[in-house]
Amino acid sequence: MAHQDISGFDDTRRRFLQMAGSATAMAGGLSFLSACNDDVVGAEAVATPTPTGTATSTVLPPTYTATDNDRLNFGLQRHYLLAAYLHRALDGGALSASMTGGAGAAGTVSGGRRVAFTDLSLLAMMREVSEATDARIAYLRRTLAGAVTAQPAINIAGGEGSPFQAIAITKRGTPPPAVNSFFDPYASENDFLLGAVALSSVVTQAIYDVTWQLAAALRTGMAAFAAGIAASDAILRNSLFVRADADVRVPAAGQSNLFGRAVTMALGRDQYDGPRAMESDAPGIGGFAGADWVYSKIDIVNYNWIAIRRTPEQALGILYASAASVSSGAFFPAGVNGTIRVSGANTY
Amino acid sequence: MGAGLLEGNLATWAGGVPELASEAVANAQWRNATEGEKHDTCDRNDWRRASFERFQPPGGADRGFGGVLAASLAKQASAQVTSSPDTAQVQFALNLHYLLTNFLQVMIYGEGRQLPAALIRGGEGANSPGVSATSVKQIMFDVETRTIQARLNEIADEHWFRTELLRGILRADSPAQKLIDYSSTSFTTMFRLAGVIGQTETFDPYDSPNNGLLAADTLLSVQASVLAGMLPNLTNDVVQATMVTMSATAASNATAVRYMIQQRAAQQPDLLVAVDKLAAWRDRVDGTATAERPLTPTIGSDGSAVTRIGQTNADGLYLTRTPQQALNVLFMTAGAVSQGGFFPTGINGLIGTSAAN
């Protein structure tokens, strides 16, 4: 089949159409896509979702001019969240008070509980990630010195109505089966890894986006910082992948295996960051293939096969669990501290 | 998304035909290249090309990503500035990707998957051919090592496309690939220097998945450390943004391989010792003192084990090296030379001499 030029901006759909081997397959695919109201803004005739809510105009985030300290503080605020999650899950505690002070409204961590780890090698790896995350917080705080911002109020609860639940399911399409009606990342090692991968991906991708904009004096350290969080993120994603490989190949009726749940989680993130399906090219952590084999998706990459970046406004959309521009919500019930604090107008 | 997608099971997806299933099946098909069911190379390359062409908007390749970069660098080219600081750095990154892509592709998929002439030549014309990599061998993976194979497949594929991306940035400034010695002799030299094996023993990286992982680790960790230190030397905004994420992906690749070695060490603990000795040797020849991080886990004061999979320091920052320090490792010498080790005739590009340590 000659490659079709599908006008429009949706890469996922274009990719599918190009991958479809024949006109027949293409026609079938289009009819499927028309029916599913997926996360696609394309030129093809796709049924328009019925608008929900009462918003009549799009609220845009206020413009701002970020300084390097603003960018570093943006990274710090997100690291507070990741550290809070890892500490609570690993030891039931939180980041020490000496590492949370600074400008802005200080808050505490609510929700979450210690995860019952039985896999000691996994636990040893998670300790590495937690310690590296703490080390990077200390590095950021040392670099920011007098300009450091405080840890804000953080909600890392799981379960019905929780922040994790908000980013774990997608409101569009088929509702999740009843058995998965809520997501509690503290329920098991696997659930913990799903939650860790979710937070880590948002944190890392946002850091990549601000790093190259920094002044020369900060670049040496912060480029190594960005690669450092990529390494920690890789440990989390490799762990989830290995666990998923060990999970059931064919889930019971109405349930998902770990590969499937990772896909759902990725789509849950994608609903808040704008029309581009950033993780949806092949969402999740991999999958089973053939009778005995498996394929991996350790890295979330773009079409140049390098890691994607999320702008601060896209990242905040996910962490506030809002596609509309807001200044607080979900994981940060009182918002974050610092100049970069309002999520983008990511509705579509 | 349809219910089928939520199942996360390819068998289910194939029936429902969501867009992702089609791709996943395609991925699975060409990632399953076992000895008995190797897939046609041309098919795969066509797929790759299709993927790359997705970038080209209507109107032609010149408006693709490489074109954007070329346009942003055009001012320098027209002024005959032949030594943009970015050019030297990106050329070195390309040389590293030559080294890794050939190795990983052939190791996973077999002979014929090394970079073709069009992706190793100097510049964009045919008058400066590169030297094809011929000394890599395929490694056989069994079902027991399927999670290893899957992740090495992914890393090998990423490298192929990153090679294309780097050439798209450099265009006419792409250095031609020179002779690369991937033979067991080359790796044996390094492993003897590092004390992993005795002076009369040999190391064959293609003998087993475990050996392949050790070999991949030595190369990937060098690449990741160079890319992690590259940003301060870049000046073009587009190149900066690109290389930050390429660095992140390279760090993820290197970390994944160390993760796999950590896993395999459960059955073969001396793998950790080997990695630690290789890391210590790199520290000795590259002049960075004790920057390398051993892989063997530490035991905390409370008796709990903590792994050291990520090559990060006490601040959580990734290990960095200059290109010259990387050449010390790849040329296998602490001195300032312009060839040796994996590159018997050196490398092309503006950076080609190792540091004097």
Residues 6 or more apart from B6 whose CB is under 8 A from it? A174, A176, A177, A256, A260, A263, A264
Query: How many angstroms separate the CA atoms of A3 and B98, rounded?
Result: 29
The strand pairing partners of A295, in sequence order, are: A287
Q: How far apart are CA B56 and CA B71, in angstroms?
A: 15
**Pair A45, A187 in one domain:** no
Give percent helix, percent strand, percent coil of chain A, each to the nearest 5.
Answer: 45, 5, 50
SS3 state at B312? strand
Residues on chain B touching A238 (C-beta within 8 angstroms): 151, 255-256, 259-260
B284, exposed or middle or buried, with CB in 10 Å at 0-12, 13-18, 19+?
middle
A139 and A262 fall within a common domain: yes
Cβ–Cβ contact A282 with B under 8 A: yes
Asked if residues B38 and B109 have their Cβ atoms less than 8 Å apart, the reply is yes
Cα–Cα distance for residue pair B103/B78, rounded to 1 Å = 36
Q: B190 and B314 in one domain?
A: yes
Asked if B250's CB is within 8 angstroms of A211's CB, the reply is no
Euclidean distance between CA atoms B53 and B36, whole angstroms: 31
Q: Clarify whether residues A222 and A285 are in a common domain.
A: yes
Contact A305 B158 (CB under 8 A): yes
Measure the CA–CA gap between A279 and A307, rounded to whole angstroms.
10
Residue type, A50: T
A1 and A86 co-located in one domain: no
Residue B53 domain-assigned? no
Those of residues 111-170 in B touching chain A at CB distance below 8 A are 143, 146-147, 150-151, 153-154, 157-158, 160-162, 165
Do the domain assignments include residue A55?
no
On whether any CB of chain B is under 8 Å from the CB of A132, the answer is yes
* Angle B298-B302-B306 from CA coordinates, rounded to 5°: 30
**Partners of residue A26 in chain B, C-beta under 8 Å:** none
Q: Is the model's pLDDT at A278 over the cut of 90? A: no
Same domain assignment for residues B102 and B166 = yes
Ranges in chain B, pLDDT < 70 = 1-83, 289-290
Q: From CA B165, how far away is CA B245, in angstroms rounded?
A: 12
Angstrom distances, CA of residue B53 to CA of A3, A14, B304, B355: 9, 11, 50, 40
Half-sphere exposure at residue B131, Cβ-oriented, CA atoms within 13 angstroms: 15
Provide the chain A residues 103-122 that lie in CB contact (below 8 A) with chain B.
120-121
**C-beta separation of A323 from A58 below 8 A:** no
CB contact (8 A) between residue B317 and residue A138: no
Please say if the pLDDT value at position A211 is more than 90.
Answer: yes
Three-class SS state of B318:
strand
Question: Which residues does B224 contact at the CB level (< 8 Å), separation at least 6?
Answer: A227, B247, B250, B251, B253, B254, B255, B311, B318, B319
Residue B113 domain flag: yes
Alpha carbon distance B16, B10 (integer Å): 10
Contact B259 A238 (CB under 8 A): yes
Choose, out of B68, B306, B321, the residue to mutate when testing the contact with A (most A CBs < 10 Å): B306
Could you tell me if residue B4 is inside a domain?
yes
A143 and chain B: CB distance < 8 Å anywhere?
no
Q: How confident is the model at residue A179 (pLDDT cuts 50, 70, 90)?
A: very low
pLDDT > 50? residue A190: yes
Residue A52 pLDDT grade (very low, low, confident, very high; cuts 50, 70, 90)? low
pLDDT band at A45 (very low <50, low <70, confident <90, very high): very low
Q: Chains A and B: how many Cβ contacts under 8 Å?
A: 327
For residue A8, what pLDDT is reported? 31
Same domain, B99 and B20: no
Q: Say if residue B22 is in the same domain as residue B98.
A: no
Cβ of B24 within 8 Å of Cβ of A261? The answer is: no
Mean pLDDT score, A174-183: 56
Please compute Rg for chain B using Cα positions. 21
A15, A241, B89, B224 from B150: Cα distances, Å: 22, 10, 31, 20
Name the phi and psi angles at A36, rounded to 5.
-105, 0
Q: Summarize pLDDT for B123-160 with one digit per residue, the tens.
A: 998 899 999 999 999 999 999 999 999 999 999 999 99
* Whether B154 and A298 lie within 8 Å, measured CB to CB: yes
Closest to A281 measured CA to CA, from A301, A262, A296 = A301
The verdict on B10 and B134 lying in the same domain is no
The answer to whether A191 touches A183, Cβ cutoff 8 Å, is yes
Q: What is the DSSP string of A177-235?
A: PGGGSS--TTSSHHHHHHHHHHHHHHHHHHHHHHHTTS-HHHHHHHHHHHHHHHHHHHH
Among residues B214, B216, B190, B232, the alpha carbon closest in space to that of B320 is found at: B232
- Which residues contact residue A111 at a Cβ distance below 8 angstroms, ignoring those fewer than 6 apart? A88, A155, A156, A157, A158, A162, A163
Whether residues A34 and A127 share a domain: the answer is no
Cα gap B196→B178, rounded to integer Å: 28
Count of C-beta atoms within a 10 Å radius of residue A344: 23
Please tell me whether residues A120 and A249 are part of one structural domain: yes
ipTM: 0.83
What residue has token string 């890789």?
Answer: A234
What kind and span of H or E run contains B299?
strand B298-299
Percent of chain A with pLDDT over 90: 62
- B229 to chain A, any CB pair closer than 8 A? The answer is yes
User: Does any domain span residue B36?
Assistant: no
Which pLDDT value is given to residue A348? 61
Helices and strands of chain A, counted as H and E runs = 9, 4
Whether residue B259 is contained in a domain is answered as yes
Q: Is A327 a member of any domain?
A: no
B280–chain A nearest CA distance, Å: 20
Q: Residue B16's domain spans which residues? A: 1-31
Same domain, A94 and A166: yes
The reply to whether residue A208 touches residue B255, judged by beta carbons under 8 angstroms, is no
Which residue in A327, A309, A322, A329 sits closest to A348, CA to CA? A322
Cα within 13 Å of Cα(B356), Cβ side: 1
Are residues A221 and A305 part of one domain? yes
Which residues are registered as beta bridge partners of B255? none
Q: 3-class DSSP state for residue A247?
A: coil
Q: What is the pLDDT of residues A195-210, one digit of tens each?
A: 999 999 999 999 998 9
Nearest CB to B2; choose among A36, A204, A259: A36
Q: Which two tokens stand for residue A128?
A: 């590495």
User: Is the Cβ–Cβ distance between B106 and B205 less than 8 Å?
Assistant: no
Residues A306, B5: C-beta atoms closer than 8 Å: no
For residue B352, tell me if it sits in a domain.
Answer: no
Q: Are A296 and B34 in contact (CB under 8 A)?
A: no
- The pLDDT score that the predictor gives to residue B256 is 98
Residues of chain B with C-beta less than 8 angstroms from the C-beta of A267: 1
pLDDT of residue A281: 65
The structure tokens listed for B232 are 């301060």
Binary contact (A128, B308; C-beta < 8 A): yes
Q: Is the pLDDT of residue A106 over 60?
A: yes
In chain B, residues with a C-beta closer than 8 Å to the C-beta of A310 are: none
Residue A58 falls within a domain, yes or no?
no
Total domains, chain A: 2
Please tell me if residue B197 touches chain A, with a CB cutoff of 8 Å.
Answer: no
Structural domain contains residue B303: yes
Domain count, chain B: 2
Report yes or no on B160 lying in a domain: yes
DSSP annotation of A53 reads: S
Position A255 scores a pLDDT of 82
Other residues' Cβ atoms within 10 Å of the Cβ of residue B205: 27
Domain range for A25 is 1-50
Taking Cα atoms as reference points, which of B51, B2, B65, B8 lies closest to residue A15?
B51
B140 and B214 fall within a common domain: yes
Query: Tell me, what's the pLDDT at B82?
Result: 55
- Give A165 or B30, the one with higher predicted confidence: A165
pLDDT digits (tens, 9 = 90+) for A221-265: 999 999 999 999 999 999 999 999 999 988 888 788 999 999 989
The answer to whether residues B17 and B165 belong to one domain is no
**Are residues A225 and A288 both part of a single domain?**
yes
Cα B224 from Cα A227, distance rounded (Å): 8
A30 and A147 together in one domain: no
Q: Between residues 251 and 290 of chain B, which touch chain A (CB distance below 8 Å)?
A: 251-256, 259-260, 262-263, 266
The encoded tokens of residue B230 equal 């590259």
A260 and A155 together in one domain: yes
Task: Give B 14-33 residues with CB within 8 A of chain A.
Answer: 16-20, 22-29, 31-32
Which is more confidently placed, B47 or A211? A211
Is some CB atom of chain A closer than 8 A to the CB atom of B68?
no
A180 and A253 share a domain?
yes
